[in-house]
Amino acid sequence: MSRSVNAMPPATSGPHSQEKTVTSSRPLAGILPAVPTPVDAGGAPDVGRFLVHARWALAQGCHGLNVLGTTGEANCLSTGQRKAVMEAAATALDGTPLMVGTGTPDLSTTIELTRHACALGYAGALVLPPWYYKNVSDDGLFAWYERLIAGTADAPIPLYFYNFPHMTGVPLSLQLMGRLKAAFPRRIAGVKDSSGDFALSAALVDIGDFDVFPGNEMALSAQGAPRYAGCISATVNVTAPLAVRFWANRDDARLRRRIDETRTALSAFPFVPAVKYLLSRIHDDPEFERVLVPHLPLDAGRKARLDELRLD
């Protein structure tokens, strides 16, 4: 695996500079890695190593961070553990635009975590739908988000939908998101769309005053890409310099190929263990490799294949 990813400086100019491509007026915009949560041998968050990687990503030019999402194994952590990570990030990375996952299957815990995020000064809360019950109606989902907004009325942190039906089994429709934005225009800020449906991502921009972050860097060269607020992706954790350069120069065919090749290659592996393994190589620290069950570490064969992956 190439280690030159550590040395590559972020680009700050080009035909599509950051100022020209970031359409959002909110603090969350641009390239945001979905940061993994390192853990110790007992499964507790290792906030020291979490901050090592967070600072590395920011040093490569990332514009903010997404904390405690899917790659952060948030749904493998207790409420107290999630709060500990939130507090460490907010305290140590003061001034960095931070988005944090606060969605859980139960409304009470989601309200609790969302209020905590507001108190800590997070720029946005990323909220999964209540994902245990499948085939629920849009009316039911509307009522759930409506109650979340009512329960955080005095903690009015901007809310971002997290649309990841492959994981949740509960898709958030274009119509539902548009309806909630119309009903609560001051609270609903946008979406991380990890549906993989690039046509949906492009259509979501038309909701208006609604920041769309595809969950895949490959979308940045697809239809509608110039209007995206940015991208929130797991692979940015290991390709940060490349992704930042691509965000600033999206007409660069070579960068587009490298982004597509890297994302496609990583998609052949279990995502969380693969990203954590690559972080252990980037930081020369095997402790980054540890995952939480039900994830399992990669076997030697998969590690060897990842060692051949070019990241620059």
In the set 192, 276, 277, 303, the catalytic residue is 192
- Kindly state the tokens that stand for 24: 């959002």
Q: What angle do CA 15, 53, 248 make, to 5 degrees?
A: 5
- How many Å from the N-terminal Cα to the C-terminal Cα in the chain? 10
Q: Which of 160, 162, 228, 277 is catalytic?
A: 160
Distance CA 276, CA 206 (A): 36
Q: Which of 255, 241, 302 lies closest to 276 in space, CA to CA?
A: 302
What string of H, E and C letters represents the secondary structure of 222-268?
A: CCCHHHCCEEEECCHHHHHHHHHHHHHCCCCHHHHHHHHHHHHHHCC
Q: 32 forms bridges with which residues in the sheet?
A: 232
Separation of alpha carbons 206 and 35, rounded Å: 28
20 tagged catalytic: no
Give the bridge partners for 159, in sequence order. Answer: 125, 188
Element spanning 217, H or E: none
Distance CA 258, CA 5 (A): 13
Tell me, yes or no, if 160 is annotated catalytic: yes
Q: How far is 257 from 45, CA to CA, in rounded Å?
A: 35
Q: Count of H helices and E strands in the chain?
A: 12, 8
CA separation for the pair 87, 107 (Å, rounded): 21
H-state helical runs in the chain: 18-21, 47-59, 79-92, 107-120, 138-151, 165-168, 174-183, 198-204, 236-248, 253-266, 271-282, 300-307
| Active site amino acids | 160, 192
